[in-house]
Amino acid sequence: MRRIIDIPAVTKYLYNRYDPSKPCELGVFLKHVREFHQVSLATICKETRLQHSYLEAIEKGEFHNLPGGIFNKSFVLMYAKALGLRETDIALFYEPVLSDRDGVVA
């Protein structure tokens, strides 16, 4: 488990760079946090027990490649938690994205 990131500092820098309403932005944000921690996707796979392809889909904003429904939100939260983020830290990103996807419930 990563140390909890100083989200106000991260927010100031990263949140201002991304549009939380776009699926690809959520993925890019998580990817940049992962790279900030210098953690591989393989490590996140082991920690979350999520398939590598699911994590790649999240990073690319390709939520249609995930199982759908509540799983999408759960997978994003598991990934974020493995990165040291809290649910409230990424709510601005995943709520608009996941509640808006075809048939996906946030």
Render pLDDT for 49-88 as a digit per residue (tens, 0 to 9).
Answer: 999 999 999 999 888 899 988 888 889 989 988 988 877 7
Q: Does residue 7 or residue 61 have the better pLDDT? A: 61
Lookup result for tokens 């989200």:
7
Report the CATH fold assignment for 19-100. 434 Repressor (Amino-terminal Domain) (1.10.260)
- 104 pLDDT higher than 50: no
With cut-offs at 50, 70 and 90, classify the pLDDT of residue 10: low
> Residue 78's pLDDT is what?
92
Mean pLDDT across the chain: 77
All structural domains of the chain with their residue ranges: 19-100
Q: Distances in Å between the alpha carbon of 60 and those of 5, 26, 53, 66?
A: 22, 9, 10, 12
> Residue 69's pLDDT is what?
80
